[in-house]
Chains A and B, each alone.
Chain A
Amino acid sequence: MTQYLIRRILISIPTLVAISIVIFTILALAPGDPLAEFAMNPAVPPEVRQRIRQSMGLDDPIPVRYVKWASSMLRGDFGYSFRSKSPVIDLIRQRLPTTLYVIGTAYLVSVLIAIPVGVLSAIRQYSIFDNIATTLAFIGFSLPTFVTGILFILLFSVKLGWLPMIYRTTIETEGLAGLWEKIKQALMPIMVLGLFETAALTRYTRAAMLETIHQDYVRTARAKGLSERAVILRHALRNALIPVVTIVALSIPGIFTGAVITEQIFRVPGMGSLLISAIRDNDTPVIMAITIIFSTLVVIFNLIADILYGVLDPRIKYE
């Protein structure tokens, strides 16, 4: 196991290096110059601009720039934003809590809803409950977040006026009223993200549960006279959850990138909106930092999924 773990981690490192090279090269080859505004500015003579370029290392060949960037990245130095001139790490620190709070809640809610619903609709296959649940899951799965977001805004903000359309970080109200306002504005983004995840997860749980319910060991459990409850919870569910847990771990990075769109709809000041504005401003250091963070998340959660799979299912052998 330990040996497998070490080898698995060692394999992840080249993957990350390769991804960072790909993204770095794309950015380096792209047209567009971070010093474009200086070029327009007559107050900055060309020689000065040239010196700035040299001091920033922009004229070095791409491999040299990559090594410089990667080595400072490893030291935890993400560089400075071209746009706001502040360290990238500070920008990310400002935005990360909001994103984590919205995504984390959405994910928790969807896991809490999806697993019971999936299990129930698998045990009562083809019942009214199952039909409604699978249809809803199918619809939820086919509704892109930007469409649900718009529908929710229309319903809850425009028609009913219950929830605010736009997420604000500057809520001044103290005490419970302020807390309520903060919860209210997060409700819609959480619902939008949660709906999609719940739908997808319900489908997985139902499928996994259906697969295990018809296994021989479940029949054996029934045959030896265990209560239905014990059969479902202890014998079927435990085994059905193995693939579900893996899917949960694997889809966490996806929900981060999915949050990019949701954050844009509700103007949530999180990592996603930081990324969009950085792309619009050609702010290379910020773009690099965020994409690398996202990629690292994918690689780490892949690793976690693999390990969980082995821990939960002793039949899996590591050679």
Chain B
Amino acid sequence: MSDVTEQRRVRAAASAVAPAIALPQRKPRSLWSDAWRQFRHHRLALAGGFVLLFMIVATIVGPFLWPIPWNTFDMAEALQGPSLRHPFGTTDLGHDIFARILWGGRISLAVGVVAMLVAVVLGTLIGAVAGYFGGVLDSFLMRLTDMFISIPSLPLLLLITYLFQDRMKAIFGIELGMFLLIVIVIGGLNWMPVARLVRASFLSLKQKEFVEAAHCIGVGTGGIIFRHILPNTLSPVIVAATLGVAQAIITESALSFLGLGFPPDIPTWGRMLYDGINWIEFAPWMVLFPGGAIFLTVLSINYVGDGLRDALDPRRMYAV
């Protein structure tokens, strides 16, 4: 990255030339190829992306390849340290921790991604409606957003998952019920930043000429919102979504760590920490490996988010 003053100078020059660039004399580079070119320069973000990809592949393929199943246990092999047979050691009941990390990672990562999707879809819808239609609807939705921001989310999260888990388990089964409950609650309490971002973009974009042009050729409201304005708001939303995955993984782990998330027979990383903390003096590997997995995942996602923020910020594009 060059000196900042230099960057500012280039940016100022670029904005002066911007109208010329907008003319169709030159084949436009797409946002994505530009973003990728920029992203490649952020070495840590690239490394984070590879680690993350590796984790995802390992949790998807791993349980099929690893010979020891995650749910069988052997009391004779309880509380063993890391060895060739059990690279991450065994639990107090003789579960193989490596197998459980792989299996639990599926759930932890899935919770992170799906909860983020819930938050982004909800936030985008609310932000788009508020920003596009404005007026009473906008002020109502923004008051709602403010209210949700003032809600202390962790206590409410604990409360809702604890109070409604039996009902959800009864309707959808233990595993799916708990998954849906956690994903909906985490997503339902984290859509506010996305809504604000989308609303702000909509407010400025709906005045633009291309939207006016779309109105003139008779595009319907839905078309204008989804086809013409929404794609232009994507960059900040993608960054927020990436960081949202990390946040959701932390939240799920925290819930499970407090013993209020997934039940013991579903070994998410947070749950493994909760189970391991009582054995911390005798079997530190029971907490070290799940803790390490959470940390590595969150760190990688945060670096990827950081890289994306730099790559997708159009003001920076002319700088490199």
Contact = CB atoms under 8 A, between A and B. Distances in A.
User: Are chains A and B native binding partners rather than an unrelated pairing?
Assistant: yes
A298 B150 contact: yes
Given A142-B246, A143-B295, A147-B295, A298 B302 contact: no
A247 B277 CA distance: 33
Interface string A276-312: 1001100000010011001101110010000000000
Interface residues of B, number: 46
B280 A154 contact: yes
Contact of A158 (B270, B280, B299): B280
A75 to B, nearest CB: 23
B302 A138 contact: yes
B151 A30 contact: no
Contacts of A151: 291
A290 B298 contact: no
Contact of B4 (A139, A210, A260, A261): A210
A15 B258 CA distance: 29
Given A19-B150, A22-B151, A31-B167, A214 B8 contact: yes
B162 A158 contact: no
B163 A31 contact: yes
B118 interface: no
B278 to A, nearest CB: 11
Contact of A26 (B149, B160, B246): B160
Contacts of A258: 154
Contact of A295 (B151, B162, B260, B270): B151
Given A143-B295, A257-B152, A295-B152, A150 B159 contact: no
Name the residue in B156, B159, B280 with the highest tally of chain A Cβ atoms < 10 Å from its Cβ: B159
Interface stretch (B174-182, B223-231, B249-257): B249-257
Interface of A is mostly: helix
Contacts, number: 124
B313 interface: no
Chain A's interface size range is: 35 or more
Interface of A: 15-16, 18-19, 22-23, 26-27, 30-32, 125-126, 138-139, 141-144, 146-147, 150-151, 153-154, 158, 165, 210, 214, 253, 256-258, 260-261, 264-265, 275-276, 279-280, 287, 290-291, 294-295, 297-299, 302
Interface of B: 1, 4-5, 8, 143, 146-147, 149-156, 158-160, 162-164, 166-167, 246, 250, 253-254, 257-258, 260, 270, 273, 277, 280-281, 284, 287-288, 291, 294-295, 298-299, 302-303, 306
